[in-house]
Structure formats: structure tokens, C-alpha cells
Amino acid sequence: MSNPLRPFHLAIPVDNLEVCRKFYRDTLELAEGRSSDHWVDFNFFGHQLVIHLKEKNSEEETINPVDGKNVPIPHFGVVLDMKTFKNFSEKLIQKNITFIIEPYIRFEGQVGEQATMFFKDPAGNALEFKAFNDLTQLFAK
């Protein structure tokens, strides 16, 4: 028996609420929801993303090699359909986003083939957006 997919809620720290608010609202074009002087809700492709004001942490970034690329850990994102991924990545390129990993096809011709891209928000939080031509490959081994 399968359960319907439910929206997730994710709260992340940011060190400058207004700069990050502008990034998520204007650069990523996410609809803004409720807010206070310490946090802002966004509609993250149907999920609830909340940015919370918090002082910058000096922890070193960790990376994990995947498909010959250095993937930042931790990171978060969402799986889009391929058309939305292509349109979204083209908008980000036009907005001069600095990518950690530019949009490309990972595991090309293999199980789990996917489009992916990584970049950071102004607070240094790493984001990954991905898409599959065949969504059944999402959890394929």
C-alpha cells in the first residue's frame, strides 16, 4: 500500500535574513509565505522551506565524490520533472548563478540517470536540484 506523497518541512540557518529572502524570492522565484523578523516561509516546489536567522557557523564544508564531482555535504533540494529542471536551470544561468556543479546529466546511460545541478544560497547552504526522464529510477539500484 502506498501513501500519497506529503510535503516536507525544512528549516535552514541563514546569517542575513534580507539577503537570503531576496535570493529565494527573487532569484529562485519562490512564493513567500508567513514571516517574522527572525524567519521567512517559502513555497519550495510544493514543500515548506523556512529560513531562520542564525549567526554564521565556521564549520568546514565536507564533500563527497559522486560521478567524478565533489558534492557538498550537507545539501538539500527537490526532484523536478525534466522540463521544469531545464527551464529552471536556464533561468539560473541567465541570472548568473555561481554553480558548484553546473547542470549536467549524471550517470548517463546507467541506472539512476539524472539531470543535476548544485549551487549555494547567500548564507552558504548547498542546494541540489535534479530530474529524471524516468522517475522509477529515483530509488533504482
pLDDT digits (tens, 9 = 90+) for 81-104: 999 999 999 999 999 999 999 999
CA distance 127 to 32: 18
> Strands 99-106 and 62-66, how do they pair?
unpaired
Cell 547552504 sits at which residue? Answer: 125
The tens digit of pLDDT for each residue in 5-56 reads 889 999 999 999 999 999 999 999 999 999 999 999 999 999 999 999 988 7
For residues 49 and 71, membership in a common domain is answered with no
For position 47, what pLDDT does the model report? 96
For position 2, what pLDDT does the model report? 64
Which pLDDT band, with edges at 50, 70 and 90, does 62 fall under?
confident
Q: What is the mean pLDDT of residues 66-92?
A: 94
Domain span including residue 49: 1-55
C-alpha cell at 65: 565524490
* Whether pLDDT at 60 is above 80: no
Count the neighbouring beta carbons within 10 Å of the beta carbon of residue 136. Answer: 7
Q: What is the mean pLDDT of residues 127-132?
A: 97
Query: Where residue 129 sits, what CATH number does that domain have?
Result: 3.10.180.10
For residues 31 and 88, membership in a common domain is answered with no
CA distance 84 to 31: 16
For residues 25 and 72, membership in a common domain is answered with no
> What's the total number of domains in the chain?
2
